[in-house]
């Protein structure tokens, strides 16, 4: 898949949003090509799209830019299975002490107050991993019903 996407970029010095072109590449290697309106271009490759996007973000962050997409959300991260199945193009929205359920596309728009640096995202993910999960009653009931239905079907 090689298509141009329009992605918002926040200039943290002026707090103005700009529209940049982003081109994901998923052929033989996962890669990202990001182009600014002033024709500056950044490229990166990785094991999946999430890693490639992270590499591009590390290149533009020192210049004062943050991407306004789900891949740059502080509370977004792919699971290992999502990385294998979608090439890192689908992420979970993480909530502390909750099992992740909400999935989003990596390049869909995210609001400025939800995005951060690669370090912010890594710190949130590490904190989420270290927090014990509290299963809500509704989650337990849903999981029990699913297991019961599976056992009934497989008997």
Q: With bands split at pLDDT 50, 70 and 90, how would you rate the model's confidence at 2?
A: low
Nearest to 61 by CA among 115, 109, 108, 128: 115
pLDDT at 131: 83
Between CA 23 and CA 1 the distance in angstroms is 9
pLDDT at 145: 85
pLDDT at 34: 97
What does the DSSP assignment read for 65-100? Answer: EEEEBGGGBTTEE--HHHHHHHTT-EEEEP-TTS--
**What's the rounded mean pLDDT across residues 120-124?**
97
Between CA 46 and CA 44 the distance in angstroms is 7
pLDDT at 134: 66
**What's the rounded mean pLDDT across residues 144-151?**
83
Task: Report pTM.
Answer: 0.82
């Amino acid at each position: 898949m090689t298509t141009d996407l329009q992605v918002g970029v926040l200039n943290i010095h002026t707090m103005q949003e700009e529209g940049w072109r982003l081109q994901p590449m998923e052929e033989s290697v996962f890669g990202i090509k990001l182009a600014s309106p002033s024709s500056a271009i950044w490229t990166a490759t990785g094991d999946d799209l999430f890693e490639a996007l992270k590499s591009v973000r590390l290149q533009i962050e020192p210049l004062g830019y943050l991407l306004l997409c789900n891949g740059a959300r502080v509370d977004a991260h792919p699971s290992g299975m999502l990385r294998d199945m979608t090439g890192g193009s689908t992420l979970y929205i993480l909530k502390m002490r909750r099992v992740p359920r909400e999935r989003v596309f990596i390049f869909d728009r995210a609001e400025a107050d939800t995005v951060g640096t690669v370090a912010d995202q890594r710190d949130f993910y590490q904190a989420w991993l270290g927090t014990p999960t509290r299963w809500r009653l509704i989650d337990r009931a849903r999981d029990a019903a699913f297991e019961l239905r599976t056992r009934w079907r497989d008997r």
